[in-house]
Amino acid sequence: MKFIAAAIQMLASPDKEANLRLAEAKVREAAERGARVVALPEVFNWRGEAREERQQAEPIPGPTTERMGRLARELRIYLLSGSLLERVSGLSRAYNTSLLFDPRGNLIACYRKIHLFDVEIESGVSATESETREPGSEVIVVQTELCPMGLTVCYDLRFPELYRALVFKGAQMIFVPAAFTALTGEAHWEPLLRARAIENQVYIVAPDQIGKNPYSFTTYGNSMIVDPWGRILARASDLPGIIYAEIDLDYLAKVRAELPSLAHRKVF
């Protein structure tokens, strides 16, 4: 089986309605160009001051999920709704939650980001996601009419154990919606994406945010789609846009058959 996947690169702002309208327009454009799977970046619907995160978080289902579900149904696509801040009753912090809708508009997968970005890098990146966000704990793979799809978010990319768990749950394509920092992205983004694709023999679809947000760090862009051999099939620039690539499941099976590294795995 072959199909087209698209990754949308955009810069989210504190204006939620403007972000949603931009995302909807780009998703429509991708679908019109033949994409059956369209992925948005991390926190695509709102990115502002950390102290406002609880206020901006939404329940699931909620306003953003209703809009994304309708859009997926209208366009008859699988839509990865990047991630959004999820408000849960009884919790003071929000989950960073990635959502996958099917072509009927059903919410078929919901993944809460497990690894929180708490770093202090001398050359300019400071983040403490754990102050405002709750970590998830569940590894999510969902079977679809196209292939089994695994969900991760941004900083998860640095933890290969999660990706191996996704593959052993059946994933053939893994999403990595991100707001990756420009500082770390320049050195780490491409090698990490290619490594996760190579070592797990999967397709990686990684839509990133791009540019400077006045309330946060500058994001790297360079959204990518990588094949199971580690080849970059599509790569965005340092500007907003959409990238496309053909996902070929017969090729994935060929790679796994000819170089059966997953079958050769040893546990120490």
Catalytic residues: 42, 113, 154
Nearest in space to 77 (alpha carbons), one of 109, 103, 39: 103
- Cβ-contact 182, 157 below 8 angstroms: no
Q: How far apart are the first and last CA of the chain?
A: 36
For 267, phi then psi, to 5°, come to -105, 125
**Strand 224-226 and strand 232-235: pairing?**
antiparallel
Strands (E), 35-137: 37-39, 78-80, 84-86, 94-101, 107-112, 118-121, 125-128, 133-134
Closest-CA residue to 174 (of 37, 19, 31, 16): 37
The DSSP line for 174-193 is EE--B--BHHHHHHHHHHHH
Place of tokens 């490594």: 195
Sheet (strand 141-142) strand order: 141-142, 149-151, 173-175, 203-206, 224-226, 232-235
Residues forming a β-bridge with 112:
97
Q: Could you tell me the CA-to-CA distances from 228 to 40, 44, 164, 193, 199 in Å, in that order? A: 21, 27, 14, 11, 8
